[in-house]
Structure 1
Amino acid sequence: MECPTYNDDEYQKLVTRMSTPRVLIDNTGCSNATRLMIDSARKQGILLEAIQVLTDLNLSIKKAYICSDGRWFMDVFHVTDLNGNKLTDDSAALGYIEKALEKVHYGKPKTEEGPTVLELTGTDRVGLLSEVFAVLSDLNCNVVNSKVWTHNGRIASLIYLNDNKSDALIKDIRKLEKIEAMLRNVLKGDNDIRSAKTSIAEVSTHTERRLHQMMFADRDYDRKPIIDIFGESPVVLVQNYLEKDYSVVNIHCKDRNKLLFDVVCTLTDMQYLIFHATVDTSADRASLEFFIRHMDGTPLSSEAEKERVILCLRAAIERRASQGVRLELCAADRKGLLADVTRTFRENGLNVTRAEIATLENKSRNIFYVTDSIGNPADPKIIQSVREKIGLSTLRIKELPIVYQEKVERDESKGGAMLLSFGSMMRRNLYNLGLIKSNS
Structure 2
Amino acid sequence: MAKIYRQKQVFDRKTFSTRLSALKEQYGPSDIRPALVDLFKEYYQQGFDEVRRRCETGANGKPLAMAQTFLTDEIILQLYTVTTSYIYTEKNRTSGERLSLVAIGGYGRMDMVPYSDVDLLFLLPYKQTPWGERVVEYILYMLWDIGFKVGHAVRTVNESIRLAREDLTIRTSLLESRHICADEELYEEFLTRYDKEVISGHEPEFVEEKLNERDTRHVKLGQARYVVEPNIKEGKGGLRDLQTLYWISKFIYGVHSVGEVVEKGIFSAGDYRQFQKAYNFLTTVRFHLHYVSERAEERISFGVQKILAERLGYADRAGLSGVERFMKHYFLTAKTVGDLTRIYCAYLEDKHKRKPRLRMPRFGLHKRKVGVFPVEGSRISLTTSKDLKDDPVNMIRIFHIAQQQDLDIHPRAMRRIRQNLTLVDRKLQKNVEANRLFMEILTFKDGPGFALRLMNEAGILGKFIPDFGRVVAQMQFDMYHVYTVDEHTIRAIELLSEVERGLLAEDHPLANDIVHKVLSREVLYVAVMLHDIAKGRKGDHSVLGEEVAKKLCPRMGLNAAQTETVAWLVRHHLDMTHVAFKRDLNDPKTISDFAQIIQSPERLRLLLVLTVVDIRAVGPKIWNGWKGQLLRELYYQAEEYLFGGHIETGNKYRIEAAKKDLQEELQDWTDEEFSAYSDRFYDSYWLALNLENQARNARLIALSDRIGEKLTINIHVDEFQSISELTIYAQDHPGLFARMTGAITISGASIQDAKIFTTKDGMALDTFWIQEPDGGIFKDKHKLARLKSTIERTLAGEILPRKELEALRNRPRAIDAFTVEPRVLIDNMASNRYTVVELNGLDRPGFLHMLSQALVDLKLSIGSAHVATFGERAVTVFFICDLFGHKVHNEAKLQKIREKLMEALLAGTKKTAGKKKTVKKTVVKKSTVKKVRKPRESVK
TM-score, L = length of structure 1: 0.40
Which structure has more RCO (C-alpha within 8 Å, separation ≥ 6)?
Answer: 1
> Between Structure 1 and Structure 2, which shows a larger proportion of strand residues?
1
Structure with bigger helix share is: 2
